[in-house]
């Protein structure tokens, strides 16, 4: 214990509560409150209603949720396969190449998302690679942006893996493919699930690259939240934001449960 006096501790806890309340708790609480607000002219809403939720659900929200979930799922699945593949095959490289390639796989996370979108527009707007205006270009943008995170998570998992299991398997005569499927990948499973969950969450909230490339028929949740608030319909925007937050949290908690059950802890 750093501070022994009771009053000193109390002062610090009040300071903590103040910072936490203003910066983290108030924004979440106010989004929830405003998504349920009937009319809001004073300090607090005049009344509560679920009208905004029924409005957005009967309107564009259903399609936006679907677009976000499909984009998030496919982009994360592709990023998981490619990130795991890259992390595993990087182990077979010499140290110098391993360092360089490892760095290259991380670079997409450093480039601003708007520029990733701009690059895709410039590269894929002409035949033979005409993807501009298709759903595929949205998936590609999301894949590029989250690929570094899955690669990083899987690499971190691999680094923590004890090499003993694989060595025992191979000294017992297990072929590389058998060893990969029955030893390495099961040991990596918790990291794979965590990587998938994080990239899904990032994809659900992605805005910068999506606003650059999305076609009219494929409006994701963040884009439709922006167009609602831009039109001045901030209460509907708040309701849709709550839907996005709940969907993201349910997804992350669900995946965490699966991992815990699978690892038996």
Partner 1 sequence: MSDAVAIRAPVARTESGKFWIVPPAALLALLFFYPLALIARQAFLDDIGVANVAEVIRVLHSRFFLNALINTVSISIAATAGCLVVGLVLALILAFVPFPGSGFIARLIDTFIALPTFLVTLAFTFLYGSAGMLNAGLMETFSLPLPPVDFLYSAWGVILAEITVYTPFILRPLLAAFSLVDRGQIEAASVLGARPFRIVRQVILPAAIPALIAGGSLCLLLTVNEFGIVLFIGAKGVITLPLLIYGKAIQESAYQVACIIAVVNIALSLGLFGLYRFAAGRLGA
Region 7-46 residues binding partner 1, contact defined as CB under 8 A: 8-9, 12-13, 15-16, 19-20, 23-24, 26-28, 30-31, 33-34, 40-44
Among 56, 60, 67, 143, binds partner 1 (CB under 8 A): 143
Residues touching partner 1: how many (CB under 8 A)? 88
Q: Tell me how far, at minimum, the Cβ of 59 lies from partner 1, in Å.
A: 18
- Cα separation, 24 vs 18, in Å, equals 10
| Subset of residues 52 to 81 that bind partner 1, contact rule: CB under 8 A | none
Among 58, 95, 96, 103, binds partner 1 (CB under 8 A): 103
Query: In this complex, which beta carbon is closest to partner 1, that of residue 60 or of residue 150?
Result: 150
Closer residue to partner 1 (CB): 71 or 241: 241
Distances (CA, A) of 106 to 1, 111, 222: 39, 10, 25
| Minimum separation from the CB atom of position 262 to partner 1 (A) | 20
What is the rounded end-to-end Cα distance, in angstroms, of the chain?
30
Interface residue with partner 1, options 65, 80, 86, 192 (CB under 8 A): 86
Q: Which of 71, 75, 83, 193 binds partner 1 (CB under 8 A)?
A: 83
Give CA torsion, residues 157, 162, 165, 171, to 10 deg: 120
**Is residue 116 within 8 Å of 145, Cβ to Cβ?**
yes
37 vs 60, beta carbon nearer partner 1: 37
**Rounded distance, CA 36 to CA 49, Å?**
5
Is 118 a binder of partner 1 (CB under 8 A)? Answer: yes
Q: Which stretch binds partner 1 (CB under 8 A): 46-54, 58-66, 181-189, 195-203?
A: 195-203
Residue 124 or 191: the one with the smaller Cβ distance to partner 1 is: 124
CB atoms within 10 A of CB 252: 15
User: Is the Cβ of residue 61 or residue 86 nearer to partner 1 in the bound state?
Assistant: 86
Radius of gyration of the chain (CA): 23
User: Is residue 162 within 8 Å of residue 97, measured between CB atoms?
Assistant: no
Tokens encoding 4: 């022994």
* Residue 212 binds partner 1, judged by CB under 8 A: yes
Closer CB to partner 1, residue 60 or residue 213?
213
The b/e string for 158-174 (b: 16+ C-beta within 10 A; e otherwise) is: beeeeeeebeebeeeeb
Which of the residues 147 through 166 are near partner 1 (CB under 8 A)?
147, 163
List the one residue out of 248, 11, 208 whose CA is nearest residue 116. 208
Does 2 participate in binding partner 1 (rule CB under 8 A)? Answer: yes
Give the orientation angle of helix 95-106 with respect to helix 62-90, to 10 degrees.
170
Q: Among residues 262, 89, 87, 249, which one has the least CA distance to residue 190?
A: 262
Q: Which of 108, 155, 192, 224 binds partner 1 (CB under 8 A)?
A: 108
114 binds partner 1 (CB under 8 A): yes
Q: Is 85 in the site for partner 1 (CB under 8 A)?
A: yes
């Amino acid at each position: 214990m750093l501070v022994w006096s009771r009053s000193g501790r109390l002062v610090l806890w009040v300071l903590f509560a103040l910072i936490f309340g203003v910066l983290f708790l108030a924004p979440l609480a106010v989004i929830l409150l405003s998504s349920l607000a009937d009319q809001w002219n004073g300090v607090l809403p005049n009344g509560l209603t679920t009208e905004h939720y029924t409005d957005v659900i009967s309107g564009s929200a259903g399609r936006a949720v679907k677009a976000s979930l499909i984009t998030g799922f496919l982009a994360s699945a592709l990023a998981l396969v490619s990130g795991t593949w890259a992390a595993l095959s990087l182990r077979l490289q010499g140290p110098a190449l391993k360092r360089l390639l490892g760095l290259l796989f991380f670079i997409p996370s450093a480039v601003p998302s708007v520029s990733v979108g701009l690059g895709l527009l410039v590269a894929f707007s002409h035949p033979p690679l005409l993807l501009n205006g298709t759903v595929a270009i949205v998936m590609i943008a999301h894949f590029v942006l989250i690929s570094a995170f899955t690669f990083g998570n899987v690499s971190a998992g691999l680094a923590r893996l004890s090499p003993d299991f694989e060595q025992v398997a191979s000294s017992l005569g297990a072929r590389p493919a058998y060893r990969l499927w029955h030893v390495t990948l099961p040991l990596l499973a918790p990291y794979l699930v965590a990587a998938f969950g994080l990239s899904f969450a990032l994809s659900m909230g992605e805005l910068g690259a999506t606003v650059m490339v999305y076609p009219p028929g494929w409006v994701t949740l963040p884009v439709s939240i922006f167009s609602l608030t831009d039109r001045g319909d901030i209460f509907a925007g708040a309701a849709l934001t709550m839907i996005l937050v709940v969907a993201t949290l349910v997804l992350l908690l669900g995946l965490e449960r699966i991992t815990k059950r699978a690892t038996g802890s």
